[in-house]
Amino acid sequence: MNLKEIRTKFVETSGRFDLVVDTTDYADNGADFFIQAAQRWLDVIQPAPMEDARYQNDIVSGDYKLLFKYGRRIERVEVWNAEGIKQELDRKRLAWLRDNYTKDPDNLDSGVPKYWAPGVFRLSPEQEHLRSATELITNGNFTGDADGWTLGAGWTYGTNAVDRAAAAATDLEQDFSGTVGTEYRVIFTISNYVAGTLTPYIGTAAGTAVSADGTYTQTITAAGSGVLKFTPDASFDGTIDSISVLEMTPYTDDFTFNAETMEFN
């Protein structure tokens, strides 16, 4: 079908004859907006191999954000100055930037950029498992202290992180009042790893044990209680920081088509 045939079928099926100029030529009077919106939606939900692409835009000194649509994943962010010198920025979580740069962005001093963070405002339907509520953990970056956390034997506060030397298998934990049966996304960073394994839990539900430096993202369905725990084995020796817990709230936007209208809800 060509566009005119689709437009004709759309207005005849929906009864929205106001979206064409007339029923002779069926020239567009708003129908194409809904047809194109539906096409974009189908493009988003259709499974397809990822393709690399480059998005380039100018940003003036003092600006702190760029908006672009229909991106699936950001691999890296680079900036060039007027002389063409390139610098790759370090990726951080948005919560980390908010914790470490507490001023209003409009009032920050301008300078050489160092970090970037993704800020997702709308998710595609097949990414509904990524939609989440506000941060549920208190002081997940251990900024200045370990307030809000219970440190078992062997755990000690360092500089904006918590360290552990090999000792008895006692927990690092925080009660965030999670709901049993609810899925949560748990994010944390391990550094200075020496030996052993560390396993995240929510209540009695275990995540996957980790045994190397890196930033980890795991999905855990709370069982038994809403307490976040990191349980080491006796030999675990390493540092943990940048802890985040987010509730996996379902994506609620939907797309409907019926005999009267086609709309996004």
Kindly state the average pLDDT of the residues 132-144: 83
Exposed/middle/buried for residue 67 (C-beta within 10 Å: 0-12, 13-18, 19+): exposed
Is 263 inside any structural domain? no
The number of folded domains in the chain is: 3
Tell me the Cα Rg of the chain.
25
Buried b (16+ CB within 10 A) or exposed e, 12-50: eebebeebbeeeeebeebebbebbeebeeeeeeeeeeee
Q: Which of 43-57, 91-105, 242-256 has the lowest mean pLDDT?
A: 242-256
Q: How confident is the model at residue 49 (pLDDT cuts 50, 70, 90)?
A: low
11/110: higher pLDDT:
11
Q: How far apart are CA 184 and CA 246, in angstroms?
A: 6
Examine the domain organization and report whether 166 and 218 are in the same domain. Answer: yes
Under 8 Å between Cβ of 198 and 230: yes
Q: What confidence tens digit (pLDDT) does each residue in 202-261 have?
A: 999 999 999 999 999 899 999 998 899 999 999 999 999 999 998 876 544 443 333 333
What single string gives the DSSP state of each residue in 152-212? -TTEEE-SSSEEE-S-S---EEEE--PPTT-EEEEEEEEEEEEES-EEEEEBTEE---B-S
CA-nearest of 245, 173, 177, 250 to 216 is 245
Query: Could you tell me the residue range of the domain that residue 221 belongs to?
Result: 150-247
149/57: higher pLDDT:
149
Examine the domain organization and report whether 20 and 82 are in the same domain. Answer: no
Q: Bridge partners of 263?
A: 256
From residue 142, alpha-carbon distances to 65, 108, 158, 239 in Å are: 26, 23, 9, 12
Q: Which of 30-44, 165-179, 189-203 has the lowest mean pLDDT?
A: 30-44
Under 8 Å between Cβ of 101 and 108: yes
Is 140 inside any structural domain? no
In the block, residue with structure tokens 């965030």: 176
Examine the domain organization and report whether 29 and 83 are in the same domain. Answer: no
Q: How far apart are CA 176 and CA 240, in angstroms?
A: 18
CA-nearest of 52, 35, 135 to 94 is 135
Kindly state the percentage of the chain with pLDDT values over 70.
82
Under 8 Å between Cβ of 244 and 187: yes
In the block, residue with structure tokens 């609810």: 182
Q: Which of 109-118, 124-133, 203-212 has the lowest mean pLDDT?
A: 124-133
Examine the domain organization and report whether 42 and 86 are in the same domain. Answer: no
pLDDT at 56: 83
Is 122 inside any structural domain? no
Kindly state the average pLDDT of the residues 37-60: 75
Is 216 inside any structural domain? yes
Examine the domain organization and report whether 98 and 11 are in the same domain. Answer: no
Q: Which of 58-67, 130-139, 228-237, 250-259 has the lowest mean pLDDT?
A: 250-259
Is 186 inside any structural domain? yes
Q: Is the pLDDT of residue 262 over 50?
A: no
pLDDT at 256: 39
Q: How far apart are CA 65 and CA 117, in angstroms?
A: 10
For residue 180 the two structure tokens come to 């049993």
pLDDT at 71: 67
Q: What is the 3-state secondary structure (H, E, C) of 29-84?
A: CCHHHHHHHHHHHHHHHCCCCCCCCCCCCCCCCCCCCCCCCCCCCCCCCEEECCCC
47/236: higher pLDDT:
236
Is 37 inside any structural domain? yes
Q: What is the pTM of this model?
A: 0.51
Is 132 inside any structural domain? no
Is 259 inside any structural domain? no
pLDDT at 69: 67
| CATH code, domain with 167 | 2.60.120.260
* Average pLDDT of the chain, as a whole number: 82
pLDDT at 124: 53
Q: Which of 3-12, 165-174, 219-228, 256-265 has the lowest mean pLDDT?
A: 256-265
pLDDT at 169: 79
